[in-house]
Structure formats: C-alpha cells, structure tokens
A and B are shown apart, each in its own frame.
Chain A
Amino acid sequence: MTDFERRLREAMAAATEPPPAGLIDGIRRRHRRHLWRVGAASLAAVAVAGIAVPVGAREVSGRSGPAAASPTAASPTATPTAAPGTVLRDCQSSEGGTVSANWQESSVRAGPVWFIFMRPKNGSQPLASGKLTASAMVIAITNGKTAVVTAGPATAGRYRFLATFNSDGRPYAMTEGAPGLTLAGCPAGPAGTNIPASYAPGLTLFWEGYVTDLRGCIPLEVRTSEASVPIRVTISGAGCGSSA
C-alpha cells in the first residue's frame, strides 16, 4: 500500500460520526409507510380486477371435508416446525407493521387466522383457469397460536404458497410453491416478539406470497390442531374482488 492510499484509508477511518438521532423511530415510520403502500397497492389491484357477482360470499365454518395437513405443536414456547407439505412462517419470519383502522370489516377470519383485506366483495366467483400469476397478501395469526392453511380441494393443487416472495415482477413457477402454509404466531406477550406492541397488538403479521393459475374466489381451509375440523373460508382472488 502506498503512502497516499494509507492516508486515504486513515482519512476515511477518521470520518466517523455518530448516527442520526431517532434512527429507530425513522425506520419504523418508513416501515409503516411501506405497509400502507403495499396494502393500498394490493387493494387497488384487486379492485381493478374485480368482477361484481350477485351472490354474497361469506366465510363458512366447515364441518366436513377432507382433512388438511396437520399443524404442528400449538405450544407457543416450542420451536415451530412446518407440517408436511407446508411452508413455515413463524415469529422469526414475520413482518412488523400496522394495519389501517376497521381492517376487520374487509378481512376474513378463520379461527386465530386473519386474511387481511381479502374479504370477497359480493360474490363467490367460480374457479376457472387463467394466467399464472404470483402475488402476496397479508395474513395475521393471534400470538401464541399455530395453524395450518391449505387451499381447498377445489383448487386441485393449483394454488400454492411461496416461502419467499419479491414483488419485482419476476415469474414464479407453480413448482416453487407448497400446497400448505404453517403459521406460528409470536409468543403471547411482548417478550420475544419483533413487533412493537403498538403496531398490531396481539397479532403476528406475515406478508405471504402465493402463485396460482386460478381466477375466482379462492377457497381455503384452516386447521388449528391435528384433531380439529377444518375451518373453510373464501378469500378474494383474481376476478373475485375484495370488499375494501
């Protein structure tokens, strides 16, 4: 190293200064803006693609039907593991953030799980084939709870959950997804969570990607334990529209 390079290195090393004050608060404010933009963009996309249909769609608690994949241990203190054939999303892979006021009105609930802003607007559009698309939605689960989400039998494996998703427009293949999703909420209470209590109290949020070639309102099943009957719900998809 030359003398000039050494002096340059020393000059850079001496240029240190304390980071800006309030950095953490700034990061959180920026993150809230990001979540708001993502939510607004998702709603706008759904609204643009939405088709009004006459039959009201409501979430249904199913009492029969084929069993979904079994969830793992429900204890919030146990290390969560993915049920067979599912993608695991746990406290470590959660996204902190806020949801707008009255979000429940536009969301679908299935036991401890919320599909946020995914309530179908006014219909249950039959499933049909369409272009392969990948998108994402916000899913929340009550802290301390575990559940397994699977696409309904009617989808015939054509709706899959992605372990990671980037909204950068790159194409995703159906084979990249898994037929199910294991959700494990952060431990109940403030300890051990990455989400400040003021953001989404009591809930663990996930930004979950999926890939599908279906159009219409998507039937899903949620199970909270191995022995429980699946809770059946319908969420908005391409050509279905949301109520938000």
Chain B
Amino acid sequence: MSEAGPPDILGSEEMSFEEFVAASSGRLFTLARLLTGGHRAEAEDLLQGAFERAYRRWGRISRGGEPERYVRQMLVNASVDRWRRLRRHPESELAVSGADLGTADDTATVADRDLLLRGLAALAPRQRAVLVLRYFEDLSEAQTAAMLSCSVGTVKSQAARGLARLREMTGETADRDASAISREGTVRHD
C-alpha cells in the first residue's frame, strides 16, 4: 500500500475555498458520518468545524497543496477530542432485526452492507476510527497510527479486535476468515 495515502481531489494553489469545499465535501462528509457511527448531526458539526478551521488558514493550507489531507486530519482530531470529552464511550448493542434489513432494497448485498455499517457504528469509537481509516481512507497502518497519534501495534490490535467484534455482531462465522488473523492478532492484507 502506498505511504502517500489517497490523493487530494484538488490541490491547486489557485483553488478558492468555495471550490475546495464543493469538490471535497461529499467524501469528507461520508468520512465524518463513518467516524461518528452514522450520526448525521454530529457529522455535520464535525465537518463544518474542520472546514471553518481550514478557512482561517486557507492561504497557507492551499499553498501547501494538500488541503483535503489537512481537513481529514482535523476531522479525525475532532472525533478523538469528542471521545475524550465523553471519557468512556461504551460499545453499543447492535439491534439486528429482520424487518430492518434491506429497507432500501431487498437484495442481499444491500442488506449485508446495512448490517456491516450498523455493526461498525456499534463499535467502540477508537476501533471504528481505525477500521474507517484503514478501509475507507485506504491508509496504511503507519499512516493510521500517525493520524491517531498512537503506535502501529495499537492500530494492528485495534483493527483485529474491531474486525473480530464486527464479525461477532453481524453473526459472521470467524472460521471463514480465521486465517487472516495471525496468532499475534494482526490483520493480514494482500
């Protein structure tokens, strides 16, 4: 996996703040929603706050050429701060109801995705953030560790535990992917 991370949508020095928001807000809003476990209001608040901080320093940020990376870091920092304010955020129970599944579409795929996202939302915030950064942002373990200000070992263990818990909550049989988790608890990526 590349150490550079996902490229910014736009990095031009000449880009206006409004253009940047228009180009990046869709993906960043999705990131915020995933980080907050699907809470739309919280996600909007996080995103608006991160963009506002970027606006204060827009000249320097846009000159740096990676404004989206900056805002992404602000989003993660803000979500980490939120966890700290809440002190201990207990893991939520995942309500699995057959009637709730596949409400948007009856296909198995949609139902499966819905279940996975609700399982993700029910994880502890830190485990959720690790999984979102690893699988939505495609960051490497080192990049994820840097963004969360923790060690690579912590990222590995949080990812392994998060995936295991997600499997358990979604009724997935661990045997299917058991080979992917080493005895040290690390997740193997092809």
Contact = CB atoms under 8 A, between A and B. Distances in A.
Given A23-B51, A27-B48, A2 B113 contact: no
Contact of B52 (A4, A11, A34): A34
Given A92-B59, A92-B63, A19 B176 contact: no
B59 A93 contact: yes
Contacts of B132: 12
Interface residues of A, number: 35
B91 interface: no
Interface of A: 1-5, 7-20, 23-24, 26-27, 30-31, 34, 90-96, 194, 207
B117 interface: yes
Query: Which 9 residue pairs across A and B have the least CB separation, nearest first?
Result: A92-B59, A19-B25, A11-B113, A2-B177, A12-B136, A2-B180, A11-B116, A19-B29, A93-B59
Nearest to A9: B135
B148 interface: no
A18 B26 contact: yes
B112 A23 contact: no
Q: What secondary structure prevails in chain A residues at the interface with B?
A: helix
A240 to B, nearest CB: 27
Contacts of B180: 2, 4-5
A94 B131 CA distance: 37
B177 A4 contact: yes
B189 A1 contact: yes
A23 B21 contact: yes
Q: What secondary structure prevails in chain B residues at the interface with A?
A: helix
Interface residues of B, number: 47
Given A4-B172, A23-B48, A17 B29 contact: yes
Contacts of A17: 26, 29-30, 33
19 contacts: A1-B189, A2-B176, A4-B177, A7-B116, A8-B116, A8-B131, A8-B166, A14-B113, A15-B33, A16-B30, A17-B26, A19-B25, A23-B47, A23-B51, A24-B18, A92-B59, A92-B60, A94-B59, A207-B56
Interface in B154-188: 163, 166-167, 172, 176-177, 180, 187
B51 A27 contact: yes
A85 B105 CA distance: 65
Nearest to A32: B52
B117 A194 contact: no
Contact of A31 (B56, B131, B176): B56
Contact of B56 (A4, A18, A95): A95
A23 B180 CA distance: 41
Given A20-B44, A31-B55, A11 B63 contact: no
Contacts of B21: 23-24, 27
B138 to A, nearest CB: 8
A7 B30 CA distance: 17
B112 A7 contact: yes
Contact of B25 (A13, A23, A34): A23
A194 B25 contact: no
A26 B29 CA distance: 14
